[in-house]
Amino acid sequence: MSHLIGYNLGALHRTSREFKRKVDSAYYPSAATIDENPIIPSPSTFDHLNNLHQDNLPTPSQCAVHLELLEVFHALRIKVLDSKALDQAFDLGGPTKKVYRRKFVKGLNKWVNQETTLRDLQWENSQDKKWTFYLGEAVRRFMVWANDYNASLASGEKNSWIDDGNGRVSMTEFLYLPPVDVLMVWHAFLLNPSDFLEYCQTNSLEYLPRVNFPWTLIEILQHKSICSHGPIRDTWKYDSDTWQVPKGESVFSGNLLHSIIKEGNTEDLDVDDDFRPDIIIDLMNNVERQRAFVKKMNAHLWIRSPALQGTLQRAVERYENYLELFRLYPGKMLVPTLDIDLVWHTSQLSPAAYETSMKARCGRFINHDDKIGRYQLDVGSDETQALYRTRFGLEYHVCLCWECQAITSAVDDSDRDGYLEEQRSSTFAKDLADKVMADIEYHRAVESARRRNHIKLPIRVEK
């Protein structure tokens, strides 16, 4: 398509930068009540959501929930790093320090010690200590949860899960949905499929790999609280020896999933077991390696884009092509693009379904190795692009910004409806572009207000 040509792409991005500068000056009336706030992403994004693969592929709606979850992980780290309680616990002091400097005061005709406030660079450099501590505790809590949940599945009591008929199980109750820190560790571990399966075999966790990732439960919680009204509030309630979960509830709170912790009795799980330090370090490193991907997803923020559904639908289709390359070129190291990687990750979060998918579509199990160096990735990416072009006649590396994705979605929708053939007027392209840019401007205005913690968000008024 013409908008993919380099010159046109550059012009589009220059226009986009101008649009971004105008967002703050663009006026949209605020909602009269919170109930009138726009719901972004649209609830229709999650229509027909379930925990199962379809045709051995994850679904766009599962990918959307995944994006929301990554935003939660991003907010969680910010909250931990901003924690004043942990500053006190580690005796880190504060972001500033007071020093005294000699200064000559003419009126007094003498030197005096004058108090001055400076940034405390030592405090800034020590902030990662808090995250390291939090992550270590989260890993130990994950190991307790994994043992407990596997034991529940092994007991055969079907009060909190169902069998999908293929030997895989789905959570149906919130009882065993882990707290957000444990969920983060589990999520990162699942993205190292071979390591996860080996861990489960070594520790006799035969049921855990059969669990489909609980997309539906997570989405229920997210839609109750996805509209953030103000800054990050509550922290996740735990100490070094126990984690406390209100009966029948999950501990989620924070920026995107603000407090849904209910009052009630709590259950304590002992985490005093002497877990091997090397396992703890490996699981911590899993989360740290995923942090780069989480930051990229936060930077692109597709979950707030007006083109979300089109972006994810195309990503699943491109992922399907990517798997076809694995089948055709078994000796090649294939490197995914960012959108394909999101879909690939989404698939891996349901281990048994992922294994079935790989064998059906690639003829073998494909491990996901996130420890490969930058140089190897660059070489593999170039080769993957060449193979993708040769096999499918399509561009592999496409622009994933809001503007490019929105225009692609608009053109695809018009083409699907047969509208492109009917509309040959000179104003069609301009009208389409104007509509796309108006949608983007509005979505950016809403996001800008949300980030400034506005309670009532901008709304569009029909003209």
pLDDT band (50, 70, 90) for residue 288: very high
pLDDT, tens digit (0-9, with 9 covering 90-100), for 385-440: 999 999 999 999 999 999 999 999 998 888 766 555 555 566 777 888 889 999 99
Mean pLDDT of the 289-313 span? 97
Mean pLDDT of the 158-172 span? 77
pLDDT band (50, 70, 90) for residue 446: very high
pLDDT, tens digit (0-9, with 9 covering 90-100), for 116-151: 888 877 777 788 889 999 999 999 999 999 999 999
DSSP class per residue in 117-176: EEE-HHHHHTTHHHHHHHHHHHHHHHHHHHHHHHHHHHTT-TTSEEE-SSS-EEE-SGGG
What pLDDT sits at residue 398?
A: 96
What pLDDT sits at residue 262?
A: 31
What pLDDT sits at residue 23?
A: 53
Half-sphere exposure of 141 (CA within 13 A, CB side): 29
What pLDDT sits at residue 151?
A: 92
- How many CB atoms are located within 10 Å of the residue 309 CB? 18
What pLDDT sits at residue 163?
A: 73
Half-sphere exposure of 278 (CA within 13 A, CB side): 1
| Residue, of 229 and 365, whose pLDDT is higher | 365
Q: Please, what sign has the CA dihedral across residues 339, 287, 179, 447?
A: negative
51, 59 contact by CB (below 8 A) = no
pLDDT, tens digit (0-9, with 9 covering 90-100), for 44-100: 999 999 999 999 999 999 999 999 999 999 999 999 998 888 888 777 777 787 888
Give 115's strand partners: 100
Radius of gyration of the chain from its Cα atoms, rounded to whole angstroms? 25
Counts of helices then strands in the chain (DSSP H, E): 16, 6
| pTM for this model (two decimals) | 0.83
pLDDT, tens digit (0-9, with 9 covering 90-100), for 267-277: 444 444 556 78
pLDDT band (50, 70, 90) for residue 185: very high
What residues contact residue 109 under an 8 Å CB cut-off, 6+ apart?
A: none
Tokens found for residue 143? 């190991």
Give 245's strand partners: 267
What residues contact residue 436 under an 8 Å CB cut-off, 6+ apart?
A: 306, 403, 406, 407, 410
pLDDT band (50, 70, 90) for residue 301: very high
